[in-house]
Amino acid sequence: MDEVVEQAMAKWPNVPHCFGWMGLSVRGHWYMRDAAAQAAGPFSSKHVGAKGSLLQHEKMIAFIGRNYGCDGIGQWFFQNGPQRVYVELESTPWVLRIGDDFCIHTHTGLPTMCTACFVDEQGWVYMSTPLGLGLVHTLDVVRVANAMESDRWPVTGVLRSDLPVLFSYVVSPAAQQHIALRQQ
């Protein structure tokens, strides 16, 4: 975490969390979701405008990546100074890129390794890593197929709908927050 973020957290410890305003796509892109995008539907939906605005500012994307983490109940967030901005996931908390030498990096640039490989009912490929579950980027599926053929990463079938429970992550912290508020 950036030092400036840690300083802001110490200075303002009780800033409310933010839900629904940021999303991570299956391509590893960050999206800002204003009120109109949120009203258009869930981030993972196909509704026009629901994703929001694609972030393209390289320094902002790098800042988000350095300050991306997970809370104790599997909700992923970006620590923006003293405020946690919870992330709506289109699929998994990580999007993984595979190099020609089979090295693995997250969408934020962190190196990691495969501890297990899975394919869902639609043919999407996932890897369990020490950082958490990641979806393999579509451009790298051929590399994974080559690795599977050589038994580098044996594959197991899985249902996509089971992944959040199996790997302890929350796809929509905003929906979970909404449920928690209704129960109060």
Query: What sections of 41-172 are H helices per DSSP?
Result: 58-66, 141-149, 163-166
179 pLDDT band, cuts 50/70/90, is low
182 pLDDT band, cuts 50/70/90, is low
Q: What does the pLDDT look like over 130-176, one tens digit per residue?
A: 999 999 999 999 999 999 888 899 899 999 999 999 999 999 999 88
As a whole number, mean pLDDT of residues 92-115 equals 96
**Lateral strand order in the sheet of 104-106:** 111-112, 104-106, 94-98, 132-136, 125-129, 116-119, 155-157
Give residue 178's pLDDT: 66
Give residue 162's pLDDT: 98
Give residue 14's pLDDT: 82
Give residue 181's pLDDT: 60
Which residues, other chains included, contact 141 with Cβ-Cβ below 8 Å and sequence gap of 6+? 125
Do residues 162 and 121 make contact, with C-beta atoms less than 8 angstroms apart?
Answer: no
Q: What does the pLDDT look like over 27-78, one tens digit per residue?
A: 999 999 999 999 999 998 888 899 999 999 999 999 999 999 999 999 999 9
Could you count the other beta carbons within 10 Å of the beta carbon of residue 130?
9
Q: Which pair of tokens denotes residue 180?
A: 């928690």
Task: Identify the CA nearest to 76 among candidates 168, 4, 159, 13.
Answer: 168
Helix (H, G, I), strand (E, B) or coil at 69: strand
Give residue 10's pLDDT: 81
Domain ranges for the chain: 3-91+169-183, 94-166
Q: Which pair of tokens denotes residue 44?
A: 């993972």
* C-alpha distance from residue 52 to each of 20, 37, 164 (Å): 11, 5, 23
Chain length of the chain: 184
CA 33 to chain centre: 15
Give residue 184's pLDDT: 64
